[in-house]
Amino acid sequence: MTDSSTLPPTGYELIQSYLKTIDGSPGVYRMLNAASEVLYVGKARNLRARVSNYARPSGHSARIARMIHETASMMFLTTRTETEALLLEQNLIKQLKPRYNVLLRDDKSFPNILISTTHPFPQLKKHRGKRSEKGAYYGPFASAGAVTRTLNQLQKVFLLRNCSDAMFDSRTRPCLQYQIKRCAAPCVGKVDEAGYAGLVADAQRFLEGKTTAVQANLAREMAEASDAMLFERAAALRDRIRALTTVQQSQGINPAGVTEADVIALHLENGQACVQVFFIRANQSWGNRDFYPRTGAGAEEAEILEAFLAQFYDDKEPPRLILLSHPIDNEDLMVQLLADRAGRRVEIAVPQRGEKLELVENAARNARESLARKMSESSTQNRLLEGLAEAFDLDGPPKRIEVYDNSHIQGSDAVGGMIVAGADGFLKSQYRKFNIKSAAGANSDDFGMMREVLTRRFERLLKEDPDRKSDMWPDLLLIDGGAGQVSAVAGILAELGVDDIAMVGVAKGVDRDQGKEEFYRAGEPPFALQRNDPVLYFIQRLRDEAHRWAIGAHRAKRSKAISSTPLDDVPGIGAVRKRALLAHFGSAKAVARAGLPDLMAVPGISEAMAQQISDFFNAKS
C-alpha cells in the first residue's frame, strides 16, 4: 500500500508551495488537475497576493473550494501591466475553455449599415466583419433582420441605391427599385451627383439621430415645390415624409438622454445566466440580443459580467457608454482595456435613477424572461436527449450530436453538410460545409461522398485534439441512409481509429413516408419508433435541418458556378475588363476563340493583356 505521506501534495498545500517562487508582478496563472487539464485561468495585479488567497484552507465559496481541491499543479506567466494580464487571460480562456471560468458561447458578429464612399454614387448596404471598406458605418444592429428592415425603410425615405457597382455600371434603363420608388436611379441619370449627395447627407443625418432636421428640410422642400406648382415633386416629397414618420414610430424605445450606449443586464438563477444586451445609437434602439454564458460552475454576478465584457468586446468596438445591471470588481481595469481598444474614452456605469436606470431595468426584465424560456426549452431538450439515449441504447444522453447529409444534382456541385445539436439545441456556429473534391461527387457516389466528408472531419479533429479533451468530439452520429451506409461509415471510422462513437442510420422506411423511419446500427437489426413518439419527431427535425443545410450549401455553390466564367481564372482580368470582354464578344467561349487584333479592339485590353488572354486559352485547349 502506498504511504499517503509520499504522495505529491494537492489543493491548498500545493498552492502554498508556489508562494516561495512567485513575486508581486502582474500576470496570469493557470490551475491544472492531475490529468493536466486546465481548470481555471485567472489574472492578478499581484500574483503572490492573489495566489496566497487560494493557499488558505478555509473561507472559500463551494465553487472555489472544489477548484482548489482538484488543483494538482499551477503555471504562471508574468506581464508588464495588469491590462496585458487581462488580455492574456481572455485569450487563454477562449483557447482552453477551462471548466471553472465564465465562457461566452456562440458569440457572432453583428451587422452594420454601410454607406460606401468608394463610388461617386454611394451604395447603401448591410456589412458584417472587419471594417475594411471605405465608408460611413452605423451600428451594430442586433440582427440581420433589424438591418434589413432599417435598410428597406431608408430606401423608401432617401432613395439610395443598393445595387452592386457592376450592376450600376451595366444599367441602361431604371430597374424595379426605381419603379416602386425605392431608388433615385442615378445609374441612368435620373438624379445628378450633387442631388444624390444631398440624399446621402440626409440619410447620414438620420442615422446619426438628427431626424428632426431631416424632416424639417423635407417639409420645406415640399412647400417650395407646391408653391412652384411642381405637384409631382411635392407628392413624392410627401410620400418620403410619410415613410420617415413610419420609421420613427416603429423604432420602439428611443431614449432622449442617451445618445450612444450598450445596456447590459444579467439575470442569474440556479447556476444559469442570461445576459441581455440592448444597442442604443443616435438616441435610437437598434435591437437587443440575449446570451447564455457558461457560468464556470457557479460564478457570481460581478465575475460573470466582467468576463462577459472582456470577451464580448474582444472583436467589437465598444460604445462611449456601457450601462450595467451589476457592478464589476475591476471597473478601472476594464475601462482602460476598452478605451485602448476603442482609441477613445469609454465609461462604465451602474445607474441608480432616471432614464438610464429604466433602460437597465427593461434589459434585466428581458434577461429574466429569456432565461425562463431557455430553462423551459432546456428541460424539454434534456428529456428528448434522454429518450434518444434510451431508444439507441447509449451510455447516457448525448452532449453533442452530429448529423450528416449530402446534396448534388446528378453529381454536379456536390456538397456535404454537417449540423450539430446538443443540450442547447442547434449549435449553428458549429455547422460545417464540405465541398466534395474527389471523383465521388462527379460519379454521384453517395458512399464515396460520405467517406470524403467523414475522413476530412475526423482527420482534422484527430490532428487538433488527439487526446479528445475538447467538447468538439461527438457522442452520436446520425447518417442519412440504411444498412449499407451504416456499414460503410463504420468501416471508415474504424480505419481512422474512432470506432467508439455511437452511430445510427436514419432511413425513410416503407414508401419513404415520414413517420415510418427505420433506424440502423452496426451489427443490429433495424427497428422503428412509435409514430407519436416525441423522440421520433426530434430525430426528424435533426434530419430535416441537416437536409436544409446541405441543400442551402449546394444551391449557393451552384449559383456561384452559374455566374462564373473561365475569364475569372485569367490573370490580370478583373471585374471591369471581364465586363468589357463579355459586352464585346457576348460570351467567354467567344473570347477564347478571338484573335489578338479582336481582343485588342476591346477598351482596356492592351497588346500584352490580349497576348496573356490568348496564351491562357490556348494552353487549356
The full set of domains in the chain, from first to last, is: 4-100 (3.40.1440.10), 112-249 (no CATH), 260-373 (3.30.420.340), 400-561 (3.30.420.340), 566-620 (1.10.150.20)
pLDDT at 292 over 80: yes
**Residue-wise pLDDT tens digits, 436-452:** 888 776 676 778 888 88
Residue 153, C-alpha cell as written in the block = 425603410
CA pair distance 618, 611, nearest whole angstrom: 10
Under the banding of pLDDT at 50, 70 and 90, the label for residue 264 is very high
CA pair distance 176, 187, nearest whole angstrom: 13
Query: Under a CB-based contact definition with an 8 Å cutoff, are residues 425 and 381 in contact?
Result: yes
Alpha helices in 271-353 (DSSP H): 301-312, 331-342
Three-class SS state of 251: coil
Task: State pTM to two decimals.
Answer: 0.75
Q: Between helices 47-54 and 11-18, what is the axis angle to 10°?
A: 160
**Average model confidence (pLDDT) for the chain?**
86
For 174-226, give the DSSP string.
--HHHHTTS---GGGTSS-HHHHHHHHHHHHHHHTT-HHHHHHHHHHHHHHHH
Return the pLDDT at 331.
Answer: 94
Residue 381, C-alpha cell as written in the block = 431538450
CA pair distance 163, 174, nearest whole angstrom: 12
Return the pLDDT at 607.
Answer: 87
Q: How far is CA 375 from CA 396, 423, 424, 535, in A?
A: 20, 11, 10, 19
Q: How many helices (H) and strands (E) does the chain have?
A: 21, 20
CA pair distance 32, 74, nearest whole angstrom: 6
CA pair distance 205, 50, nearest whole angstrom: 50
Query: Under a CB-based contact definition with an 8 Å cutoff, are residues 110 and 139 in contact?
Result: yes
Query: Under a CB-based contact definition with an 8 Å cutoff, are residues 137 and 112 in contact?
Result: yes
Return the pLDDT at 2.
Answer: 46
CA pair distance 563, 565, nearest whole angstrom: 7
CA pair distance 67, 128, nearest whole angstrom: 39
pLDDT at 561 over 80: no
pLDDT at 87 over 80: yes
Radius of gyration (C-alpha) of the chain in whole angstroms: 30
Which phi and psi angles does 296 have, rounded to 5°?
A: 65, 45
Q: Between helices 193-207 and 211-227, what is the axis angle to 10°?
A: 140
124-150 average pLDDT score: 86
Return the pLDDT at 247.
Answer: 55
pLDDT at 513 over 60: no
Q: What angle do CA 3, 4, 9 make, to 5 degrees?
A: 135
Which phi and psi angles does 62 have, rounded to 5°?
A: -60, -40
Return the pLDDT at 328.
Answer: 95
Return the pLDDT at 318.
Answer: 94
Which phi and psi angles does 290 have, rounded to 5°?
A: -105, 150
Span of 474-488, 491-505, 511-525 with lowest mean pLDDT: 511-525
Find how far residue 42's CA is from the centre of its chain. 27
196-200 average pLDDT score: 90
**Residue-wise pLDDT tens digits, 312-361:** 998 888 999 999 999 999 999 999 999 998 999 999 999 999 999 999 99
Residue 14, C-alpha cell as written in the block = 500545493
CA pair distance 468, 458, nearest whole angstrom: 11
Residue 107, C-alpha cell as written in the block = 458569440
556-566 average pLDDT score: 64
CA pair distance 567, 583, nearest whole angstrom: 13
Under the banding of pLDDT at 50, 70 and 90, the label for residue 41 is very high
**Residue-wise pLDDT tens digits, 363-388:** 999 999 999 988 888 888 999 999 99
Q: How far is CA 378 from CA 100, 207, 382, in A?
A: 21, 39, 6
Minimal CA–CA distance to 119: which of 156, 158, 182, 161?
161
CA pair distance 566, 588, nearest whole angstrom: 7
Span of 4-8, 270-274, 539-543, 593-597 with lowest mean pLDDT: 4-8
- For residue 127, the surrounding DSSP H or E stretch is strand 124-127
Residue 457, C-alpha cell as written in the block = 472531419
